[in-house]
Homo-oligomer: A and B are copies of this chain.
Amino acid sequence: METETKRLGKTPSIRRMSLYLNRLKMYQEKGIEIVTSTDLAADIDVLPVVVKKDLQLVEPPTKKRAGYLVSGTINAITAFLGWDKPKLAILIGVGHLGSALLGYRGFSALTFVAAFDTDVKKIGTTIHNIPVLNIRNLSEFLKKRKIDIAVLTMPSEQAQATVDLLMQEHIRAVWNFTRAKIHVPPHVALQREDLSAGLAELSAKIKNNQ
């Protein structure tokens, strides 16, 4: 296990991986077999040195003095993220954000199996072809189906109680879109998503430009 400081230092690189994947797949569709760090850098608005450092993490196949092999680099990133096997997910809380995530087409490696809610008007319906089930049946469902990731989009106040239940059913990864600080055991992967973080970044850029 790496130390936290080390891990934090790599966070921006890891966050850019899905962008690299996206761009590399566009090159692949166009039949382009080799791409330079300069091209990729221009595509995602960073310096070439950043691309080189980022991609070192995944040890991509290169052709000397020519660049990265597109198809091999796609495979390298996919393997690095563990996206070679699709991750099965459930989503809890089918409000606007939950619905948006269920229909989001950018998650190449995430497959939603079911969504859960407390609202009887939503239970029994499907959203983007994903069934909405009664939250009361969550434990029972998890005893039958192996789920990799639980995505939390319910009201913040209910987050920890739901997470406690998820832990009892041995869920190993939680993607938290609520504002709640939730506690999980150390062997559980936890990712907090804060939409305000992007607004903070944008705001800092606005101040920089003034």
Contact = CB atoms under 8 A, between A and B. Distances in A.
A203 to B, nearest CB: 4
A107 B206 contact: no
A17 B200 contact: yes
Interface in A1-44: 1-2, 4-5, 7-8, 10-12, 14-19, 22, 43-44
Contacts of A18: 194, 196-197, 199-200
Interface string A81-124: 11100010000000111011101101111100000000000000
A179 B1 CA distance: 33
B198 A191 contact: yes
Nearest to A2: B208
A136 interface: no
Nearest to A183: B45
Contacts of A197: 15-16, 18-19
A106 B103 CA distance: 22
A123 B141 CA distance: 40
A172 interface: yes
A206 to B, nearest CB: 5
A169 interface: no
A22 B8 CA distance: 21
A99 B103 CA distance: 13
Given A1-B208, A46-B4, A14 B106 contact: no
A14 B194 contact: no
B14 A201 contact: yes
In the A-B complex, list the 10 residue pairs whose CB atoms are closest, starting with the nearest.
A18-B196, A191-B202, A96-B100, A189-B205, A15-B197, A97-B100, A81-B203, A189-B206, A96-B99, A100-B100
Interface of A: 1-2, 4-5, 7-8, 10-12, 14-19, 22, 43-47, 49-50, 80-83, 87, 95-97, 99-101, 103-104, 106-110, 148-149, 172-173, 175, 179, 181, 187-209
